[in-house]
Amino acid sequence: MTADTDLDKVPKPITPGPEMAALAGFHTDVTWTGTIKAGGMGPGTPAMTAVGWGKHEPIQDGRWIVGTYQQDQFLPDGTFVLTWQLHWVAGWDPAAGEYRATMADNYGHADVMRGRIDSDQLTFETIGDQLIRLRLVWDRSNPAELIWRNEMSVRGAPWSLVEEYRCRPTASASTSRGLPA
């Protein structure tokens, strides 16, 4: 065998395509304000308000988007409760034919999700039959702000709203983000 023939047998990394360009439209740098419903963080937990930010960057030549998120949460009277942080990696999985994401937060939660884009809406859902399933929804039907919400289903019950935020692009937000057009 020649070296040229052997090289042809080695699988090559995927080339990012239109799926990643579509996904990038939902992953711009933002700041947000919003609310967490009473009981949203577990039985008996109070309603809260939150302010936060998210920053994104493409990795591996645009094959994945990494998001870093942080928010401060407050009781309705303004009392500080906690700072929440999340690390997110999302991209197109050509073998599965769908978007996939991993997430890990400062509570020690980690998960794998599957996603889809329907027009101006991106939805990711927890994979599997876990006791508590999450559904994350980005709605960019209004160009001035993106609405993001987190919903949960416990033991297969209907989805219920946990939290919802109004996200506004930051000055550093860019449409190019180094991803394919």
Report domain extents, the chain.
3-169
CA distance 105 to 88: 9
Q: What is the pLDDT of residues 91-141, one digit of tens each?
A: 999 999 999 999 999 999 999 999 999 999 999 999 988 899 999 999 999
Task: Please state whether the predicted TM-score (pTM) of the whole model is above 0.95.
Answer: no
Q: What backbone phi and psi angles, to 5 degrees, belong to 62?
A: 90, 10
Does domain 3-169 fall under CATH 2.40.128.20? My reply is yes
Query: Which of 112, 167, 173 is CA-nearest to residue 138?
Result: 167
C-alpha closest to that of 35 among 48, 54, 21, 18: 48
Q: For residue range 61-74, list pLDDT tens digits in order.
A: 999 999 999 999 99
